[in-house]
Amino acid sequence: AFITRKVFFYGVLTILPYYLFVPGWPSMEVLRQPQVIGNLLFLGCLASMICFLTWNWCISKLGAVKATNWVYFNPITTMIFASWVLDEKITPYFLVGAACILAGMYIADKKTSAE
């Protein structure tokens, strides 16, 4: 948790001068809108905090190597949800990529199981 706090702190510290001096950023009026605040709370609480806690729980149950191998499943789940929620088309390129990802995950899982 200590390292994560440092990463977030230095990320904010790095982006803050850019936000203050580069034109074209949204004004504070826009950032104070309920929809924007809700989105930021979602990103901060769910996407950062709960996902971080879930990731640590997965690592404690599966081990670091096996849990990390599952990160490569993200593009597949993203495409499935994008086709369902956003009506995106699943293309042959996606199917080939998904097959490569699944094959790589299978090989990596078998390799870590053998060791």
With contact defined as beta carbons under 8 Å apart, do 88 and 113 qualify?
A: no
The Cα–Cα gap between 115 and 113 comes to: 5
What is the identity of the amino acid at 10?
Y
pTM, rounded to two decimals:
0.55
Contacts of residue 37, Cβ cutoff 8 Å, sequence gap at least 6: 31
The Cα–Cα gap between 85 and 65 comes to: 31
Which pLDDT does position 65 carry in this prediction?
80
Largest separation between any pair of C-alpha atoms in the chain: 57
The Cα–Cα gap between 96 and 90 comes to: 11
| pLDDT of 13 above 70 | yes
Mind listing the pLDDT tens digit for each residue in 21-48? 887 777 888 888 999 999 988 888 888 8
Which pLDDT does position 86 carry in this prediction?
92
Q: Is 74 left (phi over 0), alpha (psi -120 to 50) or beta?
A: alpha
The tokens describing 64, both together, are: 């670091």
Mind listing the pLDDT tens digit for each residue in 58-107? 899 988 888 888 888 889 999 999 999 999 999 999 999 999 999 998 88
